[in-house]
Amino acid sequence: MSTGNMNLTLKVWRQKNSKDQGRLVDYKVSDISPDMSFLEMFDVLNEQLISKGEEPIVFDHDCREGICGMCSMFINGRPHGPKQGITTCQLHMRSFKDGDTIVVEPWRAQAFPVIKDLSVDRSSFDRIIAAGGFISVNTGSAQDANNIPIPKQDADAAFEAAACIGCGACVATCKNASAMLFVSAKISQLAHLPQGQPERYRRVQSMVAQMDAEGFGNCTNTGACEAECPKGISLENIALMNRDYYSAKFLKEEEIH
């Protein structure tokens, strides 16, 4: 951990468009405050590039407070960098040392094509949600307390699954580029609540089918996704998705789908 300002070498992935081959380019940044976030350091670098007349580095970001799921940098071999339970925007330069070399790459997956530089197209996630990650009827405004009794454990499990921000770190770190942690969180948040029951078994089948169609890999239970998830989504969700999928395919009558 550093306290004084630091000088760093960055190796950043530059890629003109989805067709371009892309390559790592070296950049030097100096006098970086340890209190800067990683994205603020990139802002400084981009200012430098603009003043030199070079094209700035494209990277995704929005809320910069760890809840939107937009930022997506693969930093020194890990999604969202070296710390656990945070997104790239919450990563601060005090996590690095003066003189460090930092490699920054985009998420890499067949289903996440690079748009430009560090920005990837994650609309495959949107298509998976559109395939069934919703409740079809209007559930109305918030119910009166205890109007629909829900056991606390179920409410907690649903809330924990709902913490998923869809950033794609699970896919990025998975050796198979599998999206199962994301998909299982989106299934689980509804499977634990009464409003999610009517479409529960239709949902798991259509979302898994869409996930497969998007070209994500298959889960091999290495657990890397759970370890790197900024929101701590648990592998228990994948087990629940598997159970629901088997129930749907092997136990339910055809009419239910």
Partner 1 sequence: MSNSGKAFSSSIGKKLVMGITGLFLILYLIIHCFLNSLIFVNDGGLTFNEGAHFMATNWLIRAMEVVLFLGFIVHIVQSARLTIENRAARPVKYAYNDGNANSKWYSRSMGLLGTILLIFLIVHLSNFWVVSRFTGIPTTDANGHDDLYAVMKLTFQNVWIVILYVLAMVSLAYHLLHGFPSAFQTMGWNHKKYTPIIKKVGFWYSIIIPLIFALMPIAVYAGLI
Q: Which amino acid is at 126?
A: D
Sign of CA dihedral 93, 60, 223, 65: positive
Distance of CA 156 to the CA centre of its chain: 21
Give the strand pairing for 6-14 and 101-105. Answer: parallel
Site mask for partner 1 (CB under 8 A), range 113-152, x = bound: ----------------------------------------
Q: Longest C-alpha distance within the chain, in Å?
A: 66
Distance CA 30, CA 251 (A): 62
Per CB under 8 A, 210 contacts partner 1: no
- Beta-bridged to residue 25, according to DSSP, are 12
Total of chain residues touching partner 1, rule CB under 8 A? 57
Per CB under 8 A, 241 contacts partner 1: yes
Residue from 137, 142, 145, 251 that binds partner 1 (CB under 8 A)?
Answer: 251
Per CB under 8 A, 250 contacts partner 1: yes
- Beta-bridged to residue 116, according to DSSP, are 119
Residue from 205, 230, 231, 233 that binds partner 1 (CB under 8 A)?
Answer: 205
Do residues 68 and 62 touch, judged by C-beta distance below 8 A? Answer: yes
- The residue to which tokens 């942690």 are assigned: 181
Per CB under 8 A, 24 contacts partner 1: yes
Closer residue to partner 1 (CB): 25 or 148:
25
Closer residue to partner 1 (CB): 33 or 76:
76
Per CB under 8 A, 5 contacts partner 1: no
Residue from 60, 190, 228, 230 that binds partner 1 (CB under 8 A)?
Answer: 228
Helix (H) or strand (E) holding 112: none
Binders of partner 1 in range 92-111 (CB under 8 A): 103, 105, 108-111
Binders of partner 1 in range 34-93 (CB under 8 A): 74, 76-78, 82
Q: Alpha-carbon Rg of the chain, whole angstroms?
A: 21
Distance CA 112, CA 229 (A): 17
Alpha helices per DSSP H over 2-60: 38-51
Per CB under 8 A, 25 contacts partner 1: no
Residue from 180, 190, 193, 233 that binds partner 1 (CB under 8 A)?
Answer: 180
Contact residues toward partner 1 (CB under 8 A) are: 11, 13, 22, 24, 74, 76-78, 82, 103, 105, 108-111, 173, 175-178, 180, 205, 208-209, 211-212, 215-224, 227-228, 235-236, 238-243, 245-246, 248-254, 256-257
